[in-house]
Every structure is written in C-alpha cells, then in structure tokens.
Copies of this chain bind each other. A is one copy, B any other.
Amino acid sequence: MSAITLRHFLRKASFVLDVDTTIPATGITGVFGESGCGKTTLLRCIAGLERSGDDARVPVHKRRVGYVFQQPQLFAHLSVRRNIEYGQRRNPGATQSVEDVAQLLGIEALLDRSTDGLSGGEAQRVSIARVLCQSPQLILMDEPLSALDERRRNDVLPYLDRLHAESRLPIIYVSHNIGEICRLSDHLLILDNGRVVAEGGLQETLMRTDLPQLGGRNSGGVIEATPLDYDGEFDLTRFSFSGGAIRVPGRYDSPTVRLRVTANDVSLSRVAADSSTILNILPAVIEEMRAETDATELVKLALGEDRLLARITRQSSRRLGLQVGDSIFAQIKSVTVRR
C-alpha cells in the first residue's frame, strides 16, 4: 500500500497550520477535529487554493484533486448532466461514464434537469458525481453532509458507502461528526489547533482513551464482521466476528460489513440473561475503565480481537463491582451496519 504525503505550512493571522504526515493511498481517511482547528484550511492547501508546502507551484486545475464543498456549488447555468461533464471534459484521462456514475449515486433521473429544483441531498450527490467524473487521483470532502438535515443526510450516506466499496480512490473526509467518520473512514487523522495529534487505523485510533477529542455522545467502536446466515422467518442476519456472533435486523449479502456500536447502546451484565428482549449478549473482558463525567464511566471491552466501548453509570459500576479484568456479558441493544 503506497501513501500520500501531506506537508503543509501556512500562517493566517494568528492561526498556524503545520501538517507533515502521510495517509494511505486507498480508502477513506477521516479528518476530525473541533471547529477552527484547521480542517478546511488543510483541504484548501491540498487542493492548491492556498499557497503552502512544496507543491505551491502546481496550479489548482492541474492537480487532479476533486473537491466536494460543504455547499454543492453547482453551476446554475448548466444542466445536471453538463455539470457532471464539466470536470470530465477538462481532464483528458477521465473515462468514467456519466451514466455509470449517475447510477452509482442514484441521480440518473435527474440528468436532464436544471440544477434549480434539486433538493439539498440531490444537489450534493450531483456535486459528488461531478467530482467522480473528473477522475481525480484524490477526493477531498469538506463536511459534505453537514448542510443537510438528517433525512437528507441519510439520502446521501448509502451512496458514499457504495462509492467507498466500488472504488479504490483515496478520499479525505472532513467532519466533526464522529458518527459519520466511524461509518465511513478506514483511517483517522485528528487535528487540533493546526497540528496532527493522532493518526492511524480507524479502530485503534477510536479506542484510544487519551484523546479528549473523541469523547461525547457519539463515542463507540466498530467491528469488521462477515455475514454467517440469514433467518428469513424473523428477517435477521447473523454476523460472525472475532468475539462471536451478532444478529441484526435486515438482510446483508456483502462479504464483509462494518458494525458500529455506540457506547450508549452497550450495557453490561454479570449473567447472560435470556429473559430479556436484548438480542445480542456476548461474553467480554473489561480491559480499561475511565471516569467520563461525575455520573458516567467509559468501559473498554475486549470481544475476541475486537474492542468496544460501553457507557455505564458509576452507580451501576459500583453496584456490580466491576473491575478491569472481569469477564462479563455485553448486552448490545442496537447496531448500525455499513457496507
């Protein structure tokens, strides 16, 4: 696996961006960090919209870097199809068929419309299609979903999943929504005040408890799993992963999926109670415990090779007398499936 080098230095008033790192040349790298930490600035540097780094000489239009902005930035004077063709015509090697890309993003029916009447989610999908059709060597996405409300966000997310699954293109995906990042990225880069504070594979980096940036309601873990069988009677798919088997509503056929389990969805039990409606109860070992707030604790669990976080009240922890090293049962109430 080759790598992409990011080396950028830029001063803007009192803010300094100073990045020197590498990211994998395939898959999605999530860039995460709080507002004002320099995420957008970093992307602008990579695209050549700001002068920084060694490559300052290469003009923007020769970089073959696709940029999906927070707002779709469609060209109002062109039809949807013309918008998508815009980049294609300008990049000699761009051989993607507009129809194929449109199909990937579910916008075939819109191709001959004007950009006027598009809903936010449709417009953002068109802007992604436009970038794909320019055959970039790298795609930058700057919070492409944050201007969309939840429903329209859910319109777009599956297409990003599909894009990830069907293309080997490296994507740098900026977001401050850790859920989105967990769902989409393979690799994680955490920025703070213009500097890289953490960088690595998604699962390892997510489980680091020394990063205050990762706290909050959305913390949790992801598990790579493979479908085992499908129970048609109850519409449940059983997945196997290193820690056992887990059942999820719906049917999934892809060879491998990523399951996201937020810390809020995991409760712990001393016994494997089969008297409750909780579907997934798995043996686990407590690897680490850390006080989060006055009321809650984050518990890092080992399930085979995989790791999950559970958020429990300190009161419950005390009541059950939980200790690092204890073998307990993780009760998983709900799971989000990706891919």
Contacts and interface: CB of A to CB of B under 8 A. Distances in A.
Contacts of A279: 313, 315-316
Contacts of A278: 267, 316, 331
Interface residues of A, number: 50
Contacts of A312: 277
A334 B119 CA distance: 34
Contacts of A339: none
A177 interface: yes
A316 to B, nearest CB: 4
A279 B313 CA distance: 8
Given A312-B277, A313-B249, A333 B235 contact: no
Contacts of A250: 295
Given A149-B177, A176-B149, A264-B334, A315 B231 contact: yes
A277 B320 contact: yes
A149 B176 CA distance: 9
Contacts of A316: 276-279
Interface string A306-328: 00001011111111101000000
**Copies of this polypeptide in the complex:** 2
Given A149-B143, A177-B149, A269 B273 contact: yes
Contacts of A276: 267-270, 273, 316, 320, 331
Contacts of A322: 277
A295 B143 contact: no
A294 interface: yes
Nearest to A314: B234
Contact of A275 (B150, B151, B270, B318): B270
B275 A234 contact: no
Contacts of A269: 273, 275-277
A204 to B, nearest CB: 25
A268 B275 CA distance: 8
A234 B315 contact: yes
A170 to B, nearest CB: 25
Interface string A128-151: 000000000000000100110111
Contacts of A315: 231, 233-234, 236, 247, 279
Nearest to A296: B249
A271 interface: yes
A295 B234 contact: yes
Given A35-B119, A231-B315, A320-B277, A295 B249 contact: yes
Interface string A176-191: 1100000000000000
6 contacts: A35-B119, A146-B149, A151-B177, A264-B333, A269-B277, A273-B275
Given A147-B147, A231-B315, A234-B313, 14 more contacts: A150-B177, A151-B176, A233-B315, A247-B313, A249-B313, A264-B333, A267-B276, A270-B275, A273-B275, A277-B310, A277-B320, A277-B322, A278-B331, A279-B315
Interface of A: 35, 119, 143, 146-147, 149-151, 176-177, 231, 233-236, 247, 249-250, 264-265, 267-271, 273-279, 293-296, 310, 312-320, 322, 331, 333-334
